[in-house]
Amino acid sequence: MPAFDLATTPIRELNQALHALSPGTNDRAFEVRNPRGSHAVAVGCAAPVAIAVHGPVGYYCGGMNAEAAITIHGSAGPGVAENMMSGTVIVEGDASQYAGATGRGGLLVIRGNAASRCGISMKGIDIVVGGNVGHMSAFMGQSGHLVVCGDAGEALGDSLYEAKLFVRGGVKSLGADCIEKEMRGEHLETLERLLAAAGMGGVKPLEFRRYGSARKLYNFDIDNSDAY
Amino acid sequence: MCGIVGLFLKDPALEGLLGDLLSDMLVTMTDRGPDSAGIALYGDAVAGRSKVTVQAGDPARAFAALETLARQAGGESVTLTITDTHAVVGLPSDRVGALRQALADAPEGFRVMSAGETIEIYKETGLPRDVVARFGIRDMRGTHGIGHTRMATESAVTTLGAHPFSTGDDQCLVHNGSLSNHNNLRRELARRGIGFATENDTEVAAAYLTARMAKGRDLGGALTDALGDLDGFFTFVVGTRTGFGVLRDPIACKPAIMAETDRYVAFGSEYRALVGLPGIEAARIWEPEPAAVYFWDRDGPPGDAMLAA
């Protein structure tokens, strides 16, 4: 099992080793120790390997991830799993702002709280947060799911496209064009699947409320033409 | 960007390490801003005495004249400690005004970095590593301190444009961000008689808090007022003689992380800045909330140190 101690090894060696993996590699599990808040830990992975990071990381951990299963045994700085394509990123602690931003696929799990702008401009990623999310989460979210087991801050889902939002606790306020929607059977099934995938199978889908786009901002409203 | 660090000690046993710990924190943040660096340290108070930290662009020439000037203004008990481009003048507190006037009138181009009972500010253009070494920050002791490494956006890269900014006795402020209403606010404060040394937005924020505290607000109250009156992006860390405060604007784009143990409260722009602190593994670590005021006071009641407005 390849192991990297970032107290003695430059971050670039870790990332180059991860980028050099061939499809048939026998190295399936990586250990990373002493990240000490380093930036860009395990970014750009494109192989189906498991990476365990022991300790808190800084900006952009797991960014652009494709296929790898990355577990951060600690908290994550801004932009964790930014633009993830596939695979999983699990944060055992809290995540700073814009977790999962612009993510196109895969599953991001944050067991603690996420700060502001969680899932901003999400484009297909699924995000499950065990605690709360901060203000302007899922801002301009285009597709994918944001599941929040705790509370959501101000302006949830502002200028939302087709991302689907589920919140179990309170929502401080909804952003422009974000409304509560009916929770139907298909949504409960999706929630159950996502919670199970996140290892939170004990949480009941029926306790959540669903939010989505009112689709009022999609097109120019001709009644506003007087403004020009 | 810009990098900010702060350390407020609760355990007196750490006071001898303040300069060393703060230096490590600041150097770690170097890649957030290479333009200038500065550090404010709060040392022990001596009854009736104050310190004025003076900077000169041509220290060899200027400081030759400083001792005579300081004695004329401050009397025979004046002490003078020169380190590189900075000099700390120790004098009776009731002579600080006279010294300030004498410094302003002198032809040598003295710049006052700070004045107060316990504060000393050292700041220059250049990297944190070099600034820390030039002024021997690592050997300094104190109760709390704040550091800043700057990526300049709003004004020139000069000594006076470096942070921390001090606009009142024993007060200082560092800033990551940019204010959008600083010109208007500067005019309003100037009309009330407050002088400004730079065109910098952060100096306006510092002067604003000084003006609020001069009206009787405590640090927490002044920071609460700032949320209504300052427009723009900011993460501030503020020091007073006994207090330490943190404030982020409601949008909170500028990063911030805090740690608290029985021995200290620490602030960093990033977690990297905190990794060398003793017992950090067991610290309570959190991201300060947007538009929430945090402050600690050495003279405040224990257990009532933090207020989130």
pLDDT in tens, B227-266: 999 999 999 999 999 999 999 999 999 999 999 999 999 9
Predicted confidence at residue B37, as pLDDT, reads 98
The CATH architecture of the domain made up of B3-44+126-297 is 4-Layer Sandwich (3.60)
* pLDDT exceeds 60 at position B303: no
pLDDT in tens, B56-70: 999 999 999 999 999
A-chain CB neighbours of B253 within 8 Å are: 97
The catalytic residues of B are 2
A-chain CB neighbours of B255 within 8 Å are: 77-78, 96-97
Predicted confidence at residue B304, as pLDDT, reads 47
Closest CA to B54 of B87, B6, B23: B87
Q: Which value does ipTM take for this structure? A: 0.92
* pLDDT exceeds 80 at position B305: no
Predicted confidence at residue A218, as pLDDT, reads 84
Closest chain B CA to residue A114:
B287
Predicted confidence at residue A55, as pLDDT, reads 97
Average of per-residue pLDDT values in chain A: 96
The CATH architecture of the domain made up of B46-117 is 2-Layer Sandwich (3.30)
Q: In whole angstroms, how far apart are CA A15 and each of A6, A9, A44, A58, A63?
A: 11, 11, 8, 15, 11
- Mapped onto helix, strand or coil, the DSSP state of residue A88 is strand
Most distant CA pair in chain B, distance: 53
- Is the peptide bond prior to B164 cis by the omega test (within 30 degrees of 0)? yes
State the pLDDT confidence band at A51, using cuts at 50, 70 and 90: very high
pLDDT in tens, B42-98: 999 999 999 999 999 999 999 999 999 999 999 999 999 999 999 999 999 999 999
Q: Which residues pair with A29 in a beta bridge?
A: A50
B227 with B245: CB under 8 angstroms? Answer: no
The structure's pTM equals 0.94
Predicted confidence at residue B146, as pLDDT, reads 98
pLDDT in tens, A99-147: 999 999 999 999 999 999 999 999 999 999 999 999 999 999 999 999 9
Quickly list DSSP for chain B.
Answer: --EEEEEEES-GGGGGGHHHHHHHHHHHTGGG--SEEEEEEE----TTEEEEEEE-SSHHHHHHHHHHHHHHHH-TT-EEEEETTEEEEEEEGGGHHHHHHHHHHSTT--EEEEEESSEEEEEEES-HHHHHHHTTGGG---SEEEEEEE---SS-SSTTTSSPB--STT-EEEEEEEESSHHHHHHHHHHTT---SSS-HHHHHHHHHHHHHHTT--HHHHHHHHHHH--EEEEEEEE-SSEEEEEE-SS--S--EEEE-SSEEEEESSGGGGTTSTTGGGSEEEPPPTT-EEEEETTSPTT------
Contact A37 B285 (CB under 8 A): no
B-chain CB neighbours of A115 within 8 Å are: 252, 287
The alpha-carbon gap from B143 to the nearest alpha carbon of chain A, in Å, equals 26
pLDDT in tens, A189-204: 999 999 999 999 999 9
| Mean local confidence (pLDDT), B183-212 | 96
Predicted confidence at residue B299, as pLDDT, reads 85
A152 with A133: CB under 8 angstroms? Answer: yes
In this prediction, what percent of chain B has a pLDDT beyond 90?
Answer: 94
The alpha-carbon gap from B275 to the nearest alpha carbon of chain A, in Å, equals 6
Closest CA to A59 of A80, A87, A34: A80
Among partner residues A37, A38, A115, which is closest to B287 by beta-carbon distance? Answer: A115
State the pLDDT confidence band at B301, using cuts at 50, 70 and 90: low
Predicted confidence at residue B302, as pLDDT, reads 53
Q: Judged by CB atoms within 8 Å, which residues 217-276 of B form the interface with A?
A: 250-253, 255, 257, 270-275
| Mean local confidence (pLDDT), B16-33 | 98
The H or E element containing residue A125 is strand A123-129
Closest CA to A54 of A82, A29, A28, A74: A74
Average of per-residue pLDDT values in chain B: 95
Q: Domain coordinates of chain A in residue numbers? A: 3-218
Phi, psi of B61 (to 5 degrees): -75, -45
Predicted confidence at residue B309, as pLDDT, reads 41
B230 with B208: CB under 8 angstroms? Answer: yes
* pLDDT exceeds 90 at position A149: yes
Looking at the complex, does the CB of residue B104 fall below 8 Å from at least one CB of chain A?
A: no
**CB burial class (10 A; 0-12, 13-18, 19+) of residue B11?**
exposed
Contact B253 A94 (CB under 8 A): no
**Rounded to whole angstroms, how far apart are CA atoms B159 and A180?**
54
The alpha-carbon gap from A38 to the nearest alpha carbon of chain B, in Å, equals 7
Contact A37 B274 (CB under 8 A): yes
Predicted confidence at residue B307, as pLDDT, reads 47
**Rounded to whole angstroms, how far apart are CA atoms B132 and B129?**
5
The first and second tokens of residue B168, run together, are: 């009142």
- Mapped onto helix, strand or coil, the DSSP state of residue A53 is strand
| Alpha-carbon A65 to chain mean position | 11
* pLDDT exceeds 90 at position A1: no
**Rounded to whole angstroms, how far apart are CA atoms B114 and B210?**
13
pLDDT in tens, A61-85: 999 999 999 999 999 999 999 999 9
The alpha-carbon gap from B297 to the nearest alpha carbon of chain A, in Å, equals 27
Q: Which of A153-162, A163-172, B191-200 has the lowest mean pLDDT?
A: B191-200
Q: Domain coordinates of chain B in residue numbers? A: 3-44+126-297, 46-117
Q: Please enumerate residues of A whose Cβ is less than 8 A from a Cβ of B.
A: 36-38, 56, 58-59, 75, 77-78, 94, 96-97, 115-116, 134-135
Contact A58 B257 (CB under 8 A): no
B43 with B120: CB under 8 angstroms? Answer: yes
Q: CATH number for the A3-218 domain, one of 2.160.20.60, 2.40.30.10, 1.25.40.80, 3.40.50.1010?
A: 2.160.20.60
3-state per-residue secondary structure call for A140-194: CCCEEEEEECCCECCCECCCCCCCEEEECCCECCECCCEEEECCCHHHHHHHHHH
pLDDT in tens, B104-138: 999 999 999 999 999 999 999 999 999 999 999 99
State the pLDDT confidence band at A53, using cuts at 50, 70 and 90: very high
The first and second tokens of residue B231, run together, are: 């427009």
Query: Who's near B131: CB < 8 A, 6+ residues apart?
Result: B36, B37, B38, B39, B122, B123, B124, B137
The first and second tokens of residue B254, run together, are: 């500028």
